[in-house]
C-alpha cells in the first residue's frame, strides 16, 4: 500500500518525529538524573544494563578526538544536511507505508541525537545489552529508532525484491 496523500504523509512523518524525539529526550533526561555519576544498574543477571555515558563522537565514539571545527562539520552540519535531503527526497518518492515509516524512524532518531549534539556537544547514551556474550555498545532511544527503521527498510526492500519480476 503506497502513501500518495501528502497531508497523510506529512502528518505521519511529523507524528513519528514528535513521538520518537519526545521519548528520546525524556529518557535522556531521566538517565542524566538517575544514572549520572552512579554505578550501572543491571537487570536479568546483567543481560541488560543501564549505564550513563556522554558520547562526544559519532557511532561508538568515532571522531571524538577531532578539532571543534571538524566535529561541527562531521557531527552536526553534514548529518543535518543529509537528514534534510533524505527526508525531502523521500517525500517526493512514492513509497509503501512500511518504507515510509522505516525512513521516518531513521530521520527521527537522527533528529533526537542532533538535538543533543547541538544543545550539549555530546549525545547521552545509557542502555547496554549482553546476549550470549555479545555485548552491544552503549546506546539510547534515538539509536533504537534508527536501528528499527533500518530493519524495517531492509525487510521491505527484501520482500519487494522477492516479488519483483526478474529480467529475462
Catalytic residue annotation: 125, 143
Distances (CA, A) of 54 to 8, 11, 148, 165: 37, 33, 22, 48
Strands 41-43, 134-135: pairing kind: unpaired
Amino acid at each position: 500500500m503506497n502513501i500518495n496523500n501528502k497531508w497523510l504523509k506529512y502528518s505521519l512523518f511529523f507524528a513519528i518525529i514528535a513521538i520518537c524525539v519526545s521519548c528520546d529526550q525524556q529518557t535522556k533526561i531521566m538517565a542524566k538524573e538517575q544514572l549520572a555519576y552512579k554505578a550501572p544498574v543491571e537487570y536479568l543477571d546483567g543481560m541488560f544494563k543501564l549505564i550513563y555515558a556522554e558520547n562526544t563522537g559519532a557511532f561508538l565514539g568515532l571522531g571524538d578526538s577531532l578539532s571543534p571545527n571538524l566535529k561541527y562539520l562531521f557531527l552536526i552540519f553534514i548529518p543535518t544536511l543529509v537528514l534534510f535531503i533524505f527526508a525531502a527526497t523521500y517525500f517526493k518518492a512514492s513509497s509503501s507505508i512500511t518504507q515510509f515509516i522505516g525512513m521516518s524512524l531513521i530521520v527521527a532518531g537522527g533528529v533526537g541525537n542532533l538535538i543533543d549534539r547541538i544543545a550539549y556537544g555530546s549525545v547521552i547514551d545509557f542502555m547496554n545489552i549482553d546476549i550470549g556474550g555479545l555485548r552491544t555498545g552503549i546506546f539510547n532511544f534515538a539509536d533504537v529508532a534508527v536501528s528499527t527503521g533500518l530493519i524495517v527498510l531492509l525487510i521491505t526492500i527484501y520482500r519487494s525484491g522477492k516479488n519483483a519480476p526478474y529480467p529475462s
